[in-house]
Structure 1
Amino acid sequence: MTVPPLAPYPASRLRRLRQADWTRRLVRESEVRPADLIWSMVVHEGEGKIPVASMPGVERLSVAEAAKAAVRARDLGIPAIAIFPHIDPSRKDATGSIAADPDGVIPRAVKAMKDAAPEVGIMCDVALDPFTDHGHDGVVEGGRILNDATIERLIEQGLMQAEAGADILAPSDMMDGRIGRLRGALEGHGHHDTLIMSYAAKYASAFYGPYRDAIGSAKLSAGQGDKKTYQMDPSNTEEAIREVALDIAEGADMVMVKPGLPYLDILRRLVDEFRMPTYAFQVSGEYAMIKAAGANGWIDEERAILESLAAFKRAGAAGIITYFAPWAAEKLGA
């Protein structure tokens, strides 16, 4: 991009535009609003609220509490909520067989939230890891993640979520071809208006730890390896372009970069390349770091939260999935 010529100093004094709050607001290039936020939320099978130790301020919510949260989101101007399940370990198995249970906590939460606040969009994670006893996002055989067998399970799960009333399905598994298969299944079952937000560029990151604590999948079972054969290498950029291109071609309505702040370069590149609604997920590790540093007095927590959200907008994000959503919406004002 060519920078227009500027008059030399002192004719040009860039600080003129910074001298007062009103001038800074007048020339601000990007700004975060409550409408830019998707509230990331964990729901559990029991009653009440359960604090998540590694994420101060975040709680697992019962179905009833999730419905109340949907009303709060509506009142704060937050347009959508992304829900993730915490499942009793005794109910998990090697294939994640209850992931498509129509009476499970996710469909019950979706129905309760839509009844309480139908104006708020509900996004569901399409993945098996919260339901498997080994912690992987797919069907495992001989130490390998089976791509096509996993997709079959994901289609069952996604159709169940759509039937429950989910507005957005968000496959986070990173299996090849799952967006096209899921889109075809939705069309074939009459769910023509169900949106797909693909976790298109999801990296094998160290920043997911607190989330796994929150959903009760803190670590992979012994001998089960890692997720590097399906989540992306943090060193790669061009691979993200290919992943997103494929997912758009297969029918994704929106795409996502995960994690957020460590991958702002990826976010900017995808926005420039595809001009598609592109979202960033400010993941649990990012949340926990800001909260921990703030609690220790090492940073100004409130300013750091707002600055981090502004970074996503500045990089071109259409919106941000974040655990900070309700706090930020209250701070920013509807």
Structure 2
Amino acid sequence: MDVSELRQRLEHEPKSLSLTLPVPLTAAVWRKVEMAQLWQQQASHHHLICRADPLYPPLLQQIADPPSILFIKGHPETLLRPSVAIVGSRAASHGGLSLAFQFAAELDSIGLAVVSGMAAGIDGAAHKGALSHSGQTVAVLGTGIEQIYPKRHRQLYEDIQQHGAVISEFWPEVTAFAGNFPKRNRIISGLALGTLVVEARRRSGSLISARTAMEQGREVFAIPGAVLSGDHQGCHDLIKNGAKLVESLADIIEELSPLLQSHLQALPSYVPLQTEHNSQLPFKTLLASVGYETTPLDVVVEQSGITLDLVLEQLLELELQGWVAAVPGGYVRLKRN
């Protein structure tokens, strides 16, 4: 973006950039231009794009209040790929984290980018799932592009830039502020063809992304869960209100294929993911005794009819293969057969 274009954008749409201008506009504009120029020149992977830029995401152009300028670290062309947003609880269960990782990896494997907010929990797991394949993932920050939140995601922040993009509409120095995170959610849903909610309680902030997706006319997907724990109440409410219940990647592809054919380039040939036949499952009897919610060890022993020593040996093998995880109170199953 050149200086004159950036200045024009700042003059005409200061509110969309979350600016407070206590001094005359022209002086503030020039300072902001200089700051943006300096930031862009600091590294070759720093980019600024405005709505007139050919790299500006076409789906984001269609929402009611698209950001005027995007600060980007990484590969801006990632924003042009057809994508699905994955959101959910920050305090997610082991099962929820595993599902977010799995769905993101599967979406990436068929050519769809994964969009999320780099928050703790489901967001982070989704980004990591995409990074486990080609890494086509976009992190939309609720802070300035130079502010890492949460701090423990520093490595994730760096890894995403290698193959995908970290983006923000806020100026680089803007720190974490609660009111900015709901605002960024409209970008998460606005970039994507649809939004998948993996795990969410009724008051979860991830439901804001689902609501903005509905308002933007995008698809909303939700994964159901146990009715007793409360971790999936928000997902169940979404399904009651018209979101598509998702059990596998095929449920998402079924809805998105017409959109891809009508509005975007064709989806890469979809090859159903291979699943292991029951006869090839490791320790079938024991695996069938471990639920997707926490299953106490004594229940596993009782239901499987296997001795405790053998149960512990087989559970360790299943854990190493990624089929189950040890959690407080017992074990949970992570993968379906």
Q: Do these two structures clear the TM 0.5 threshold for a shared fold by scoring above it?
A: no
Larger RCO of the pair (alpha carbons < 8 Å, separation 6+): 1
- Relative to the length of structure 2, the TM-score reads 0.26
What TM-score, normalized by structure 1, do the two folds share? 0.27
- Larger CA Rg, structure 1 vs 2: 2
* More strand, by proportion: 1
